[in-house]
Chain A
Amino acid sequence: MELQAVLMAAGGGSRMTDLTYNTPKPMLPVGNKPLMWYPLNLLERVGFEEVIVITTREVHKMMSTDPKTKLDIKMKLDVVCIQEDGDMGTADALRHIHQKVKTDILVVSCDLITDVALHEVVDLFRAHNATVAMLMSKAHEFTETVNVPQRDFVGVDQSGKRLLFMANEADLEDGLIVRRSIIRKHPRMHIKTGLVDAHLYCLKKAVVDFLAENKSISSIRGELVPFLVRKQFSKMTSGQKRMDDTETVDQKNDGLTNDDLFFPSRDEALLQLAQERSCWNDHRGDMSEAYHGGKLRCYVHIMDQGLCYRVNTLSAYIEANRMAPKFIEEPAVHPSAVISERFQMGSDSMIGAGCHVADKTSIKRSTIGISTTVKEKVKVTNSIIMHGVTIEEGCNIQGSVICSNAVIGRGADLKYCLVGNGQRIEPEGDTYSNTKKSILLEVSVTFGLV
């Protein structure tokens, strides 16, 4: 077998707590399908037959019992439940399933919605015998502005495929330090900041074995990948003194050598023989052989076209909902929904199963969840209505997110609000509106999240 897929669905959704208060993140409805469905669909389309899903017991229960969140996936899902306490990072989760990993793995996060041609990432992994190959995408306008001090600096070589440098602004205290060994080997490096890390990694089995032994690494994205990227350019043996770097970040990892990560494939001598006789080199201008003789290689595929969203913030969630109809081949209006005749629906909207939509309603660029009831004369624009919501007559909902089982009373007027789970909005209520275009957390507090 070539690759095993691992889906990380135990994340808490720490940046969108209002939404995930009642529903765990992997089960949030996006386009009337649970968020987990999208990466699983991607894997299924590409040809995977089984996936190891790492999730919490709650999500597992919801997956198997709740009809609203059933998954329609034909692959075999091997669910591994872990504790919900949130101390377990993604690398810890990999360590947990170390016994199940028999070959190289493809790690996907449950909040990834993308239509990437997966073979582009995997081809890099295969052709160059890479240790890690990952996917990144150019960020879109809706994402939080770049002034947030969590910028990622990603350095790639001239071809745009080899990953030379990766660091988060939070880890760089004095400024961006680039080691001389990198510059000596790759004199031209492009550093990019506006990239979204899709959290899709192809890792060699040797890396998982390495993780099993080194318990200090707990997050793939935050620690493992930057570590591997740095290790590409360190000296081969630990005995030699490293003369040219002043980094203090990886002091604790100094003891580890490249040899730990480099497990020779079978017949390494033969591969070496083939490489020596091949007239190919990945760079030119200096005297070194292909890949500078380095055995550890990290590659990245940067998507510039196509959709790639990571649904870990509220604005990402809203944007993903808007884009969801493009992914799903089902018709926008579910056949089991009861729709009246005098009813306006825009082309970007989606209506879930078992809905009741009454007369004279207008639904534009919105998603209506499963089993929702929308009464007469309701105007819903640019909103996300989750499952089991009741919207009484005459409401006007704009730019809002209404969570499951909420009830919006008659004549309510909501603009850019977030209504929590199971809440009730009083009928003929005051115009609850949020003058700023973004949804503030304080507003949801007034609606009384229990």
Chain B
Amino acid sequence: MADSGVSGGADKKDNIEREKIEGKELTKEEKQRLRKEKKQQKKGKEKKDASLPQVSVAETAAPASQLKAERRARQEAERTSKQSKKGDTGQPATTSKPKIPPNELQPVVKRLPEHIQVDDPDVLKKLAKKLERQQIPRRLDYGYKVSLFSHLLQYSRKAPLTQQLSIPSAVIHPAIVRLGLQYSQGIVAGSNARSIALLHAFKQVISDYTTPSNEELSRDLVNKLKPYISFLNQCRPLSASMGNAIKYIKKEISNIPSQFKEDDAKKKLLNCIECFIEEKIVLAAKAIAKSSIEKINDGDVILVYGCSSLVNHILCEAFEKGRKFRVIVVDSRPRLEGREALRRLVQKGISCTYVLISAVSYILPEVSKVFLGAHALLANGYVMSRVGTSQIALVAKAFNVPVLVCCETYKFCERVQTDSFVSNELDDPDDLIVTRKGETQLKDWQQVPRLGLLNLVYDVTPPDFVDLVITDLGMIPCTSVPVVLRVKNVDLL
């Protein structure tokens, strides 16, 4: 493989020689290519040398001592064996991971993400080191955690991460700081909103980015984005949709051909981001609305839970198309997001009823359909959504009411989870404290021993309770999610 690289390099070298002769300045990319060729040639030479140890020893023994030469030969032998194992195409080792061809079955050891291993001190140490390297302050845990969830992070909203940052933030782009603040204070909430806001911030980062000299945009920009992503993760753990969006952007950046000038590359990236939002979020919502409207009949009583931007959109579209239905909005503490959903639906003119989740079994006999939004769809068909959704799906199943989950395909996630404990998010426990009639019962909850406040954000609904998933690819059963994922992966490659 190194030979082919060398031969290919030789061609490119000829090009460069020609250009030199023609009197043109070597461009930055060509200089880098030259450097790469030289390195490849050196490696090729070393490989040849390793196969003839005596020759190399003879060559290098002249000025240096015998021991040094032997050590070098041993190192080269190790290096070439490593190269052949990894299937290296001769590129210098600046890329982070070697590419694993898709059809090769390799035992992949999946690393557990750090944010669900908080009770392991080694993982914490590693995380602290990583953050220190990226110059990002670490947000501290707050309060007593219920033992079942002690492996998760719990932050306080009153201690924002910006406390530890310098005020004109130099390390982190101001758009990202603003975004992180908005996430941690809950101003931008809901997985679609968070993804769009993230992409908007990335657009600003990319517009303000300038490639430093001796660096390539495709590699340097990805490295610039890594600390920002860590920062956002510290402010609020990333959602699955955000993770997919980031993967997409990173792939787009790495695929920028090196001949592109900086302005063209930036324009292309901004275009890609806009396309992503337009296709995967806006148009997907339109497609889902179109399919769902077929499922909504006149005289329906539709139950929704919390505030899902997609479900609200569907209902508003259906109402505009002239379907006659009424909506029951179910809400739960402490977020009480249903009030916002209620406001939006009533503003359109839809007649709504509002109940708390404790009244769900009371109200279900009236309901004809349940529409639920999703935060992510997992690879085993489970639906991850706001805490309380699985409860609603369970009760609806008991009453034989069809449950329809609406979800765009960009929220499909390769994770597999069967319970809500393993990976979840713990919100600020002080949100559970409420003042009624001038009295705040839980004011000193930290002083009471053995009292823990738990404010879960997500839960997982098994596919037996979900009758249909409406996506922009059509209406599929819950168990077809892995098929969609596989199809998506093949498309990407």
Contacts and interface: CB of A to CB of B under 8 A. Distances in A.
Given A119-B162, A281-B343, A127 B190 contact: no
B182 interface: yes
Interface string A268-292: 0011011111111100100100000
A106 B196 CA distance: 29
B188 A270 contact: no
Given A274-B200, A281-B340, A48 B168 contact: yes
Indicate the member of B160, B282, B340, B341 with the most A CB atoms within 10 Å.
Answer: B340
A280 B204 contact: no
Nearest to A202: B167
A118 interface: yes
Interface in B165-179: 165-170, 174, 177-178
B346 interface: yes
B188 A278 contact: yes
A270 B167 contact: no
Interface string B364-394: 0000000000000000000000000000000
Nearest to A266: B204
Contacts of B186: 280
A70 interface: no
A127 B200 contact: no
Given A48-B167, A266-B207, A274-B196, A287 B337 contact: no
A287 B26 CA distance: 63
A84 interface: no
Contacts of A266: 203-204, 207
A267 to B, nearest CB: 6
Indicate the member of B165, B168, B199 with the most A CB atoms within 10 Å.
Answer: B168
A391 B160 CA distance: 51
A280 B199 CA distance: 19
B309 interface: yes
A119 B190 CA distance: 26
A44 B282 CA distance: 45
B307 interface: yes
Given A123-B160, A126-B178, A278-B187, A270 B196 contact: yes
A267 B198 CA distance: 13
A2 B168 contact: yes
B188 A119 contact: no
A440 interface: no
Given A1-B168, A273-B196, A127 B189 contact: no
A2 B174 contact: yes
A135 to B, nearest CB: 13
B177 A2 contact: yes
A306 interface: no
A267 B202 CA distance: 12
A287 B347 contact: yes
Given A3-B167, A118-B167, A274 B193 contact: yes
A423 interface: no
Nearest to A290: B187
A277 B182 contact: no
Contacts of B178: 126-127, 129
Contact of B203 (A48, A127, A270, A279): A270
A127 B192 CA distance: 19
A280 B170 CA distance: 29
B481 interface: no
A279 B174 contact: no
Indicate the member of A266, A280, A287 with the most B CB atoms within 10 Å.
Answer: A280
B277 to A, nearest CB: 7
B203 A277 contact: no
A49 B309 CA distance: 42
Given A2-B168, A278-B187, A280-B189, A119 B160 contact: yes
B220 to A, nearest CB: 20
A4 B197 CA distance: 25
Nearest to A270: B200
A243 to B, nearest CB: 24
A122 B339 CA distance: 30
B358 interface: no
A290 B165 CA distance: 28
Contacts of B199: 270
A46 B178 CA distance: 17
Contact of B181 (A3, A106, A126): A126
Interface of B: 160, 162-163, 165-170, 174, 177-178, 181-182, 185-190, 192-194, 196-197, 199-200, 203-204, 207, 277, 282, 306-307, 309, 337, 339-341, 343, 346-347
Given A2-B169, A275-B188, A280-B187, 7 more contacts: A2-B177, A274-B196, A276-B309, A278-B187, A279-B190, A279-B193, A280-B188
Interface of A: 1-5, 46-49, 106, 117-119, 122-123, 126-129, 266-267, 270-271, 273-281, 284, 287
Identify the 10 closest CB pairs spanning chains A and B, nearest first: A47-B166, A279-B307, A278-B193, A277-B309, A2-B174, A277-B193, A274-B197, A274-B196, A127-B181, A3-B168
10 contacts: A47-B170, A118-B167, A126-B177, A273-B196, A275-B193, A277-B190, A277-B192, A277-B196, A279-B190, A280-B340
